[in-house]
Structure 1
């Protein structure tokens, strides 16, 4: 028994040492200013395999293909018998890119009237949205035809702590953008998470520089001249991307932008047709759904949507309330919203406001597993003598009485 305990603590000690070492490495590789990252020497993709249109070529042969463009690049898993460090995939316009951009057919995205990339919109805090507007009309912007557009208004100061890739390249390399190709990726390499190649429209891509772990430059000679390949290793990249599987993404972003042309902008995280038949729906849980930014901020958003004054009314009001219920799903989206109070004309405004701000709810959980949860809540509000709502005062949760056991 003593030997078993000693082995256990030895393993635990090794894990702690490994954790501290990894943390130390992360801290030493995270940039503090541009001087720590500014490349003094440029690589040339030494020991990399070059694949053009599906066939292996020598690096020097690129001079024969004036239309060659980058498709993707990633490192091989190193081993004692591995000849190459990594591989570059290239293609010419008459050959399919490898792979196609995951979001090439997405609409144009705007955050507070500033255009951003599909990766940037997927790194926003959906809980902070105040409104979403969508247009189906094709839009031509800087030579690209977008199939419609989506405008997000948000309280998040998204641009305060982020820089465009143009600014990142200028600050950390000083290279002219017209000669730059950017490879933006996460620090972990694998074929499903090989990053994205960005060759133009750099101002649409936003990065928090605090997440940058490495900036490295390789030079490659093409037929039309030398190009600089800037590697941006960013610990936040995988959270900015979105695919059906393989990469992590904020759950609410997945609900809204998984099919960006299909969600309802007036109820972005409300799933009207979710089938709850036969599902285990809890009414109590270890962790219960609540507005992620707090109840006061939630009521403020509901008030703004309903057109209520921001300040407390001076006129005399009387208290009233509405009791609603809905089901919070595993990803924090909601369904089955209804009023279970005696019906009043003003209740329709409440239901629409709750749907509009359906992205704020945390998921219920028990023993590290998410649950379906039926949330009942009362919203107390003040109304004037004419019956008009003047203020939302507070909310309380309600629970069904426990049924006696036989």
Structure 2
């Protein structure tokens, strides 16, 4: 993988921040956008800007072809069985909420169980809290191992015949843990439950195959995989999407409207009320083309190599605590002893290095780690080992600035 050539496709990286070359290590929050995606968005707005599905004029036809063409790109990218199983949403949060409202509240009853983990992002906790409160179901948690992984024995012990929904992240946005989704799916299905997977941190970095994983719902976001903001995907098995109720109502998702009742369009448009996220979908399609040109296996290997290198570099610095397992996704979460992570991030920013600091929308996990916040450096296909060297150098400066003594 030619990282130098890849970096040239990201114009935002060619700048200085506070007098230093930008080192962008916050891709888990939002990845940067390559020229092919920028150009696809520019072309749409310059040449094809029109609403979709509704008109027979040329611009409307071109826009519709591109919008539905993007859906087919997504279908192939995740190996879904049908385009009917690909719903465009605003992002992972919206996708999970669709299932929590349109599916969970329809099927859950008092005594039923929803099973999740303490490592979840808030967007995969709060919707289930609300669903449990609304239906009388019980929310249960699979315990974590000491290194922040999940043991399948604990999954088997937590999921019961009363469990109706299991919701887990594919890859943790804090620990970097990559969960065994295929095995968890089998356990859920053996107990008659369905599995929803938050794939926001996985889809940008590895091949995902819906047929092989056999999960029932899968959510991910475009802006973490080189695409635009405000576009995401909900994958769902067709038979389950057919059972779900729409969450949003209005134009585009209807079949027939009478004065006192209405019927809905077939999948996938049943869940896409109003003017769709047209430009976002087209941009997501361009991002998928870009990622496939680079090769998802190449990206996974590159990211894994960077994560291992970063672990090695940070472990060599006294006074740094690192969270999560050895085998991990493309991030390292850490703290410097006696220094708040916001202060660490501020010092690094003065060196042109962008990291994330805070609770990362994972307050239950922070409590499990016995910290209030952490710093996180996350990597992607455009990052280099030299940038990790700059991170390590910046952390040494932060330690020195805050008066830590080196051994």
- TM-score (norm: length of structure 2): 0.21
Is the helix fraction higher in 1 or 2?
2
Larger Rg: 1
- TM-score (norm: length of structure 1): 0.21
Is the strand fraction higher in 1 or 2?
1
